[in-house]
């Protein structure tokens, strides 16, 4: 997804080498970068683009209300992960309320140029977009996804809002992996492909059933509430009985429901959430490994080190280097 200034805005677009110094720290090493400024304010856009996907991050610094254009050069399945700012404005023609911080929304977007009216404020978001050929490739490998392909990419000129939810530790981990620095382009392409698929499959499991992906699963609200509860209580003991009560089902149905949505047991899911959140803290803060282990819910450093190494094939200290 790309953004362009509206017709009435007097704006200038600069390339990466002319960026203001205070914005250079926001730039991905291998991204194509544009910086647009004018009386309305400014915005920094950067994109990592593959043959059938794109990852774009946008930072908006809006001094006064203005109209920008969101541009899709081809039909895509796109997800807007809204990281920071006042409620993020919606596409014209979509009735949903604007996104709030730390939430995402998935859309089908046709080839289009759509007006978006921004209010005064600073915004930050990441768009991950999957093109027609990407979804077709997945369908060829996983025939159960055919209904997803048919539903999401059905021809049409209207933007469709498909799903939304909270950005949790799992999603934050995937986004960090998509935008981190890799040793070379070949490694970057490989790892991005892996994490793009991981992220898309996560959304499929969370919001849909493979038998009828056009319909939201009847347990989605319960699962979303359960996942939010786990995210907000990672530092505390999480008891199965409490989780079962939140879902309002019996124990057998709880385990079946959990496995069908997340693809793993409650213990594995919670453990992975804790390790993924720890990985984010290790790479983005200066806190000690012991502090991080405690913060994500581990009682002792040895069990944390073992779990981290099992997941990332590296000790926490080595991973930080």
CATH of residue 252's domain is: 1.10.10.60
- Which of 79 and 206 is assigned the larger pLDDT? 79
Classify residue 185: in a domain, yes or no: no
70 and 159 both lie in a single domain: yes
Average pLDDT over residues 130-140: 83
For the chain, give the mean pLDDT: 80
Asked if residue 80 has pLDDT above 90, the reply is yes
Instruction: Give the count of domains, the chain.
Output: 2
Given 135, 168, 201, the domain boundary residue is 168
154 and 227 both lie in a single domain: no
270 and 126 both lie in a single domain: no
Burial class (CB in 10 A: 0-12, 13-18, 19+), 294: middle
Average pLDDT over residues 276-303: 86
Sign for the pseudo-dihedral over CA of 308, 101, 69, 119: negative
Asked if residue 10 has pLDDT above 90, the reply is no
Asked if residue 41 has pLDDT above 70, the reply is yes
At 57, is the pLDDT very low, low, confident or very high (cuts 50, 70, 90)?
A: very high
Short-list 291, 272, 283, 286, CA closest to 319 = 283
Average pLDDT over residues 33-46: 89
Given 168, 184, 208, the domain boundary residue is 168
272 and 154 both lie in a single domain: no
Asked if residue 59 has pLDDT above 80, the reply is yes
Percent over 70 (pLDDT), the chain: 83
* 8 A C-beta contact, residue 248 and residue 242: no
- Which of 144 and 78 is assigned the larger pLDDT? 78
DSSP secondary structure of 178-236:
HHS--SSHHHHHHHHHHHHHHHHHHHHHHHB-SS-TTSB-TTHHHHHHHHHHHHHTTTS
Average pLDDT over residues 9-28: 70
Short-list 225, 188, 220, CA closest to 203 = 220
Summarize pLDDT for 195-244 with one digit per residue, the tens: 888 788 788 777 654 343 333 344 555 676 777 778 778 888 888 998 88
162 and 248 both lie in a single domain: no
At 306, is the pLDDT very low, low, confident or very high (cuts 50, 70, 90)?
A: very high
Residue 293 structural domain = 220-320
């Amino acid at each position: 997804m790309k953004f362009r200034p509206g017709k009435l805005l007097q704006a200038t677009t600069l390339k990466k080498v002319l960026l203001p110094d205070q914005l250079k720290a926001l730039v991905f090493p291998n991204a194509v970068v544009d910086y647009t400024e004018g009386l309305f304010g400014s915005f920094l856009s950067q994109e990592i683009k593959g043959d059938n996907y794109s990852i774009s991050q946008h930072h908006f610094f809006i001094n006064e209300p203005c109209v920008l254009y969101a541009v899709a050069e081809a039909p895509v399945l796109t997800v807007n992960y809204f990281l920071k700012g006042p409620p993020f404005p919606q596409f014209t023609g979509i009735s949903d309320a604007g996104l709030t911080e730390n939430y995402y929304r998935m859309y089908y977007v046709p080839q289009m140029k759509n007006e978006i009216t921004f209010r005064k404020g600073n915004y930050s978001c990441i768009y991950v977009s999957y093109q027609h050929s990407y979804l077709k490739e997945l369908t060829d490998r996983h025939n159960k996804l055919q209904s997803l392909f048919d539903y999401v990419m059905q021809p049409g000129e209207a933007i469709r809002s498909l799903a939304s939810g909270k950005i949790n530790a799992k999603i934050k981990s995937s986004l960090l992996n998509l935008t981190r620095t890799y040793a070379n382009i070949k490694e970057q392409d490989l790892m991005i492909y892996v994490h793009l698929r991981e992220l898309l499959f996560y959304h499929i499991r969370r919001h849909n059933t493979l038998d009828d992906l056009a319909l939201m699963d009847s347990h989605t609200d319960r699962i979303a509430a359960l996942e939010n509860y786990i995210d907000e209580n990672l530092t505390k003991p999480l008891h199965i009985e409490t989780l079962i009560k939140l879902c309002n089902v019996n124990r057998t149905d709880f385990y079946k429901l959990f496995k069908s949505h997340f693809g793993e047991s409650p213990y594995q899911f919670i453990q992975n959430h804790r390790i993924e959140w720890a990985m984010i803290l290790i790479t983005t803060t200066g806190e000690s490994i012991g502090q991080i282990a405690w913060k994500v819910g581990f009682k002792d450093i040895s069990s944390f080190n073992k779990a981290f190494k099992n997941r990332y094939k590296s000790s926490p200290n080595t991973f930080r280097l």
